[in-house]
Amino acid sequence: MQKITPKVIDSGCRDDAPTKNVLKNISWSERTKTRSHPDELPSLKALIDKQRGTDSDVLQKVMMHPKGVMLWSNKTLSVFYKRCKYDIVYLDATGSVIKKNTAESPPYYIYELVVRNPSKGQSPLPVATYVTCDHTTASVTYFLQAFQTDVIRMYGNVAIKRPVMIICDGSLVLMHSISTAFCRTGLEDLLQKYFLLITGQHPTETFDLPILHRCLSHIMKNAKALCKK
């Protein structure tokens, strides 16, 4: 990189630049210089301690087994608390963002709690993110409960009955986790309560559980796939 003149770099021309892997190694080497510890995990934990109580306090938890990090802040907790009282909360997951280093490496998933932006036409607002290589009910439930614990710690027990409605893609892992973390009951019991509600056997005035809703686009996608079989 030092052999490339500043004029070439400023122009955006990369014809004489090293290969992608070399640039990746250079970038990684530069990032390691800013670490507080040579090892990544102690460095992340030191970063948590350093940011605790500040406006930059976003990194909440670092886990070794399974590997993962959880991210949210007091600001996003506030946004979640205000928005989820009247609007929909989304829980989504994707495994296509972080690439595996090797074929043997476990895939990493990104889970995100998202609320709708109060300004029409604006992008949704992510309030909590979980990056992990463990796609299990226990792992996702721990993430949601950790986030919910911080919400309750900030706003008290009044936050227990929120949100009003949660939408997910229909994954059993997500549905079980949402049922446990936000509805405080098992998925089968929750579905039974919904059945009693929609059949008129339970008064709507006293029903105070969040509504778990499957994403319609995923339902249509699954139906389309079934029709092709």
pLDDT digit string, tens, across residues 114-123: 999 888 888 8
Confidence at residue 2, expressed as pLDDT on a 0 to 100 scale: 60
Residue 85 CA neighbour count, 13 Å, CB half: 9
Residue 28 located in a structural domain: no
pTM: 0.76
Residue 143 located in a structural domain: yes
State the average pLDDT over residues 86-97: 87
Range from 17-21, 33-37, 108-112, 225-229 that averages highest in pLDDT? 108-112
Q: CB neighbours (10 Å) of residue 39?
A: 9
Residue 30 located in a structural domain: no
Q: Kindly tell me if the per-residue pLDDT of 137 is higher than 60.
A: yes
Distance CA 69, CA 130 (A): 6
**What does the pLDDT look like over 27-36, one tens digit per residue?**
767 677 777 7
Q: List the end-to-end C-alpha distance of the chain, in Å, as a whole number.
A: 54
Q: Kindly tell me if the per-residue pLDDT of 10 is higher than 70.
A: no
Residue 206 located in a structural domain: yes
Q: Where do we find the tokens 């614990």?
A: 149
Confidence at residue 65, expressed as pLDDT on a 0 to 100 scale: 78
Distance CA 146, CA 140 (A): 10
By C-alpha distance, which of 209, 115, 203 is closest to 160? 209
Residue 116 located in a structural domain: yes
Percent of the chain at pLDDT exceeding 90: 32
Residue 179 located in a structural domain: yes
Q: Where do we find the tokens 């892992």?
A: 173
Q: Does the N-terminal peptide bond of residue 66 adopt cis geometry, omega within 30 degrees of 0? A: yes
Query: 3-state DSSP call for residue 213?
Result: strand
Residue 162 located in a structural domain: yes
- State which residues form the domain around 194: 65-228
State the average pLDDT over residues 32-55: 73
Distance CA 116, CA 125 (A): 6
Residue 87 located in a structural domain: yes
Confidence at residue 25, expressed as pLDDT on a 0 to 100 scale: 72
Number of domains within the chain:
1
**What does the pLDDT look like over 183-194, one tens digit per residue?**
999 999 999 999
Distance CA 126, CA 205 (A): 31
Contacts of 177 (CB under 8 A, 6+ apart): 137, 140, 141, 143, 144
Please give the structure tokens belonging to residue 129: 């993110």
State the average pLDDT over residues 61-78: 87
Q: Kindly tell me if the per-residue pLDDT of 81 is higher than 60.
A: yes
